[in-house]
Amino acid sequence: MTYFPEEVVEHIVDFLGSHGDRNAVSTVCKAWYQVDRLSRRSVFVGNCYAIRPERVVTRFPEMKSLTVKGKPHFADFNLVPYDWGGFAQPWIEAVARGCPGLEELRLKRMVVTDDDLELLARSFPNFKSLVLVSCEGFSSDGLAAIATYCRGLRELDLQENEVEDHGRQWLSCFPDSCTSLVSLNFACLKGEVNASALERLVARCPNLRSLKLNHSISVESLNKILARAPHLVDLGTGSFTIDNRSETYRRLINSFFKCKSLRSLSGFWDASPFCLQAVYPVCTNLTVLNLSYAPAIQSADLTKLIGLCFKLQKLWVLDCIGDKGLAVVASTCKELQELRVFPSDIYGAGITAVTEEGLVAISSGCPKLNSLLYFCYQMTNSALTTVAKNCPHFTRFRLCILEPEKPDPVTNQPLDEGFGAIVRSCKNLRRLSVSGLLTDQVFLYIGMYAERLEMLSIAFAGDSDKGMVYVLNGCKNLRKLEIRDCPFGDAALLKDVAKYETMRSLWMSSCDVTLGGCKALAAKMPRLNVEIINENDGTCESKENLSDLHKVEKMYFYRTVAGPRNDAPDFVWTL
C-alpha cells in the first residue's frame, strides 16, 4: 500500500464518507495518518471533553466543518445540573486561531454564550452554516452578531435551544447585501421577531429552501412570506390560529396551492382544527410532518390530514392521535420510516391515548419503519413480538411506557420476552430504550442478540448486577450506556473495566454504585474521567469525609485523552 503516492491515497480516502471509516484509515500507518489529517474536511467530536480543542485543530488544519457534542444525553431530562459544563468557548477560540477557513459549526448540548457567537461571527470569513441543537447560554444579542458579521451565511438552524430574548431585533441585522440564505430556523425563539424585516429577508434570498418560524409570526405574515418564497421545501409555520371565514384564511389556502415544492411541514403552534384544512393542498407531496406542538388538534382532525399524506416518511405527533388515528396512519403511510408519538398530558391520570394496539397497527401497515419513539401507557409482550416480526428493519427503537416498572397488563409478566423479540429480529438495531417491568433476563437477550447496538438507555429495570454484566459482555459495539434507577452496583461496574475504553461514555444515576467502587474504577482506568455529580450540598460533605460505602447519586464517566477537565464546577468531582 505504501507504493501509492500520497495523492492517490488521498483521492481514495476522499470517497470515505463516514468518520468511523476515516478514523480507521488514519490508524493504518503514519503515511496514511498524514494523508487523512491533511485532507479531512469534516471532523466529528462526540464528547467535547474527550480531547482538547487545540489538538483537534492542530491535527486537522484544513478542517471546514466541525461537530461537537457536550452534555450527556440525560441532560435533556434535567438530570444534569445547569452548570455542569460543555462550554463552547474553548472550541470556538481554538478553531478561530487554528482553522480560520471554517465554514460550518454544529454544536449539541453545549453552553454557548453571546461572546462565543460574536467571536464566531468575526473570525471566519467563509462561514456558511451554524447549527445549534439543545444548547443554551445565548440570547438574541448573539444572534444579532451572527446576522451582522457572517457574510455569505447560508444556514442558521436553531433547534430546541433555550434562547434568552433581549429584545434585540436580530433579524433586522442581516444586511441588505445578505442574499445567500438557504436555511433559516428560529422556531425555538420565544421573543418577537420583526415580521417585515423577515419578509424583506425572504424576498432577497432566492435560494431559501427551509424556513422555520416561531410562534410570533402571524398567519398574515406567513402569507406574505409564502408569496415571496414559493420554492420552499421545508416550512415551519408560525402561529396557526385564524378564523376560517376570513380573507386571511382564503389567502393561506391559495399560498399553499402555489407551494409546489413543499415536502416538509412543522410548527403549527396553537393550531386549531379547521386551520389545518389550509394545508390539504400540499399533503400529497409531504414526506415529513411534525404536528407534535399542536395539542389542540384532536384525533379526528389529525387523521383527516394524515389520511392525505400517502408519501409520508417521517411523522411526529402527540398521543391524542389515539390508536384509531395510528390505524389511519398505518393504512395511508406505506412509506413511513420514522414515527414519534409524544405524550400530550404528562401529568394526567392515565388516560389511554395510545396503547400497544396503535403500535401493532403501525407495524403491520408500515413495513419500512426503521425508527421509533413511542410514549404509551401500556405494552404487551405479544404486541412487541408482533411488531418485531412485522418490522425487522428497526435501527432505532425507543419505547417509553409512562409508568415505570409497569408489567404486561394482560399477563402481568415483565416485558423481557417482548424486547427480546425485538433484539432478535432487528439485526441492525443501533439504538434501544427499554421501559416497563424488566428483569435481568431482558439484558441477557440484549447482550446475546443486539450485536450492532451502539446506544442503550435503561430506567427502572433489572434485578441485579447480572443484568448490567450481560450487556457489557455482549454488546460489542456499545458506545453509550445510560442507566437510571436500576439495582446495578460496584460488582457490575468493575467486572470488565477494559470494556470502557471501547465506549464513549457511561451514565449511572440512582443506582447502587458506591464512592469506593467509583474510586476503584478511576484507579484502574487512568484514561477515563470518572465524574461524580454531587448536588445535595445540604450536608456540606467534602469527598474526604464521605465513606467509600456512600452510594453515588450520579456518576458519569467517559474516555478521554485530555485528562481531567479544568472547568468542572464544585459539585463535580473527578476521581
Which residues bind to another protein, rule: CB under 8 A? 74, 76-82, 134, 136, 160-162, 188, 190, 269-270, 292-293, 295, 342-344, 346-350, 375, 400, 402-405, 433, 457, 459-460, 484-485, 487, 510, 535-536, 538
Residue whose CB is less far from another protein, 42 or 510: 510
Residue whose CB is less far from another protein, 27 or 536: 536
Least Å distance, CB 292 to another protein, is 8
Amino acid, res. 117: L
Least Å distance, CB 76 to another protein, is 5
Tell me, rounded to whole angstroms, the distance of Cα 62 from its chain centroid: 27
Least Å distance, CB 25 to another protein, is 36
Closest among 372, 279, 277, 377 to 320, alpha carbons compared: 377
> Could you give the C-alpha distances from 216 to 20, 45, 170, in angstroms and in order?
42, 35, 14
Least Å distance, CB 132 to another protein, is 12
CB 107 within 8 A of CB 90: no
Least Å distance, CB 258 to another protein, is 30
Site of grid cell 464546577: 569
Residue whose CB is less far from another protein, 346 or 498: 346
Residue whose CB is less far from another protein, 256 or 374: 374
In 434-510, which residue ranges form alpha helices assigned H by DSSP? Answer: 440-449, 465-474, 490-495
Q: Indicate the angle between helix axes 30-39 and 6-14, nearest 10 degrees.
A: 60
Least Å distance, CB 466 to another protein, is 17
Residue whose CB is less far from another protein, 293 or 557: 293
Residue whose CB is less far from another protein, 71 or 466: 71
CB 267 within 8 A of CB 291: no
In whole angstroms, what is the distance from residue 36 CA to residue 26 CA?
6
* DSSP codes of every residue in 387-421: HHHH-TT-SEEEEEESSTT---TTT---SHHHHHH
- Using DSSP, state whether 531 is helix, strand or coil: strand
Residue whose CB is less far from another protein, 459 or 532: 459
Least Å distance, CB 78 to another protein, is 5
CA angle (211 as vertex; 208, 212 as ends), nearest 5: 170
